[in-house]
Homo-oligomer: A and B are copies of this chain.
């Protein structure tokens, strides 16, 4: 074991050089791993040692799904068609077992630690670590009376937070998507680098980001027995609502007070925003529209309340507690309502967001509707969303 540890230290520290035309190791690899490799067209090469496997398949969740080919040395390989720039989740299926690639860093998505590959976007540096002042990301543990447990959140503090000890900052609460967790906006999204760059070039006001864990179960509430209860069944929907309601109470009664007492925030509704992606967008609509005493900036990134998942048209008088019934009153209270979607997202998501956009127009509710060109229900969409959304805040 000792030898293994030292050897693995060595192999993870050194790069067994192996050149090939134009393909370079992905930035999402573990240190020293030559594969996955990416070329300038966005094609990806992947390798996996599985000498006794009968079938190995590559599964990009929003991209190609391909059989891999076994070479004589027991290594399976594949080269994909070009992928669009951005971060792409993938897994490997080895004789029917869906697992992650040992050569990739692990990213929490789909309810598990999955693999990912970053395809560079030519000319884009807005989500990279550039030579500007960097904020810090902090891990915060807070004891929630709602869930009766210690909960974990990540908090981005802008550069200068420590050196200006009397300065106070506005706060953007930024939620991950379904199947992801509080680490997604930093590790997949690079939200810290996006804010570093926006603040450095004067586009955004310095702000605090809070990224909370988006699942919650009330203290004493047992896990529902959903065996045999399909998705969409009344039992499953009720269970989801219970989670959403517990999260709303955790956020408003435990997390926000903890953030406001721990950090130098400007603790009023004019300086508090919330946005989220996919499931996090739904949570954002629920939490903010239930609590306009707490929030005045609202962002739905590829997700904006359960209504976007149904065919029913928004009824401004009754939906969302009737907040959209009086446009002038709404505009007086909400400084920004922002909704975005990628043009290549699944039809159901795209049309749901577009319907909401049209309905808000019809109801004379001022809002921003942003479309990310050429991107799917993926992180590149949400990075662009944050880049457009954050400069409009505070």
Contact = CB atoms under 8 A, between A and B. Distances in A.
Interface in A348-394: 348-349, 376-377
A131 B148 CA distance: 12
Contact of A10 (B92, B102, B113, B240): B240
A246 B62 CA distance: 40
Contact of A30 (B74, B103, B111): B111
A57 to B, nearest CB: 11
Contacts of A259: none
Contacts of A16: 223, 225-227
A98 B102 contact: yes
Contact of A239 (B4, B10, B192): B10
B1 A223 contact: no
A79 interface: no
Contacts of A139: 136-139, 186, 192
A100 interface: yes
A7 B61 CA distance: 14
A315 interface: no
A9 B279 contact: yes
A4 B181 CA distance: 16
Interface of A: 1-18, 30-32, 48-56, 61-62, 74, 92, 94-106, 108, 110-113, 129, 131, 134, 136-141, 143, 150, 162, 165, 177-179, 181, 186, 192, 215, 222-227, 231, 236, 239-240, 243, 262-263, 278-279, 309, 345-346, 348-349, 376-377
Given A51-B95, A52-B55, A100-B100, 15 more contacts: A1-B376, A5-B177, A12-B112, A14-B226, A15-B224, A16-B226, A30-B108, A54-B54, A92-B99, A99-B100, A99-B101, A104-B113, A106-B106, A131-B143, A139-B186
